[in-house]
Chain A
């Protein structure tokens, strides 16, 4: 399995500080040679590093608005969180009409597909009560997190396509029927609050291929849309295809609310999500039918590609939904192309200390021995988020214990003492050279070396 990601680094802007490594919920970032580096297997595209980086060196990957020019027929798939970005908006139609005015040929509301997903979910949960609790599959970061870290919970993931994917395939079908154009001339463009969908396009979990062609950012389209919205206010055309349920999907609790059940939990913010998954794995709570999890605080309105404060946006969504019917989109016996996951989500373990249990036991013992030597400050100066992470990196051959500035300091003190004690001898420092941070330093300081270093004796010291 490949691990593509929608977060990348602007090396020139990265100062090598420790903000991102400390904030990353999966400990996926290390500072190496003064720059942050993402360990691709660990990253779940939650966007926390983008939020925290004070130098704006962490960037989301998504398509520019000019991607519209690549297609003859362009369909906008607005996420419901888009509607929550505007001040004093009381009619979503103004946004939808403005999307046409700015150059889209058609609009398919993701919130409309969300209402279909809610309907499918209600039926699926009712028919499969023995598999409860069901975990929402709409947030790609959460699904990725479960697939790499919570193998025991994979069977609980609701195997229903995300609203954006259903919207994409329905919108494409409609466009082909209407225009007769070949599929490649039709551009299905998701207006997204978050970059995680970009990863989900190139590396989808649960299905073979996404029908979404491009992902543009809400924050990019926002200013363009604003100018067209001014000219859309007086138009009469009613384009709205979603109601309370669909619109509410844009914020935490919306998906669960659409199931019309009482026994649910909705958690948002990646740290809270992890805590819920840990507890769920330990069976600390039972008797829940549904668990809605959103990596971003507040839900999708908290995505890194949005403009408005997540909680203000949440309040705006609540106001927008107030006078809407419960839902405007219904299946009515209609068959969707890809309503369910096409393939099972597989457990993809991304980290293990040793190849065999025997190796792992030995490696864990080394980690413990190293932790005894480290100061336990979790200061991050070594480039790893915690002392334990550094110890694991060392044991796996990815770092050296003198990356710990405290151990390095002790080492330098010892060397300098030796110099002053032995300054009558010549050539004592001859073997020590500046290659310490050279290309081959990982090879030079393999884990075997760690053992030597753990039991220093006179002959070891003489090496230097």
Chain B
């Protein structure tokens, strides 16, 4: 008997219509597992923001989710440009999204702040030109 559920998703680049599929799938599974509405909401919002970020900035990437009795861990890894200044990127309203993305209603500079807000623990590893890995945890 396993102690956790491991899920893996590949986020495809430049496809806004599919962004949210991974977080939607996780949300539906968490609801079926009886996770509290509050935790479901936090995971859904934080992960969706992360997914969108991968589409906008990093040509997609890979997401690993682990659901255990105590928490839900999301690891979002991309091979994008990296984040030059994490502190700046964490400020609400700061965005490097190009105009064509903003015209779609994205790029309001709320991605990382929302990910931080809705996760109980967030950790970013990033290297310019190599990629970014965001690890988020939501407690049950």
Contact = CB atoms under 8 A, between A and B. Distances in A.
Interface of A: 149, 151-152, 278, 281-284, 347, 349, 351-354, 357-358, 360-365, 368, 392
Contact of B33 (A151, A282, A360): A360
Given A282-B23, A352-B32, A361 B69 contact: yes
B5 A361 contact: yes
Give the interface size class of chain B. 20 to 34
B104 interface: no
Contacts of A363: 33
A284 B29 CA distance: 19
A354 B34 contact: yes
Nearest to B42: A152
A261 B40 CA distance: 32
Contact of B5 (A151, A352, A365): A365
Nearest to B69: A357
Contacts of B23: 282
Nearest to B35: A357
Contacts of A149: 31
B33 A364 contact: yes
Contacts, number: 64
Given A361-B68, A362-B1, A392 B20 contact: no
Contact of B24 (A152, A278, A349): A278
A244 B44 CA distance: 40
B67 interface: yes
Contacts of A392: 32
A330 to B, nearest CB: 38
A283 B67 CA distance: 22
A358 B68 CA distance: 8
B33 A361 contact: yes
B67 A361 contact: yes
B29 A364 contact: yes
A362 B37 CA distance: 20
Nearest to B34: A352
A364 B31 CA distance: 12
9 contacts: A152-B38, A281-B44, A282-B23, A283-B114, A349-B34, A353-B32, A361-B4, A362-B2, A368-B5
A360 B40 CA distance: 15
A284 B27 CA distance: 14
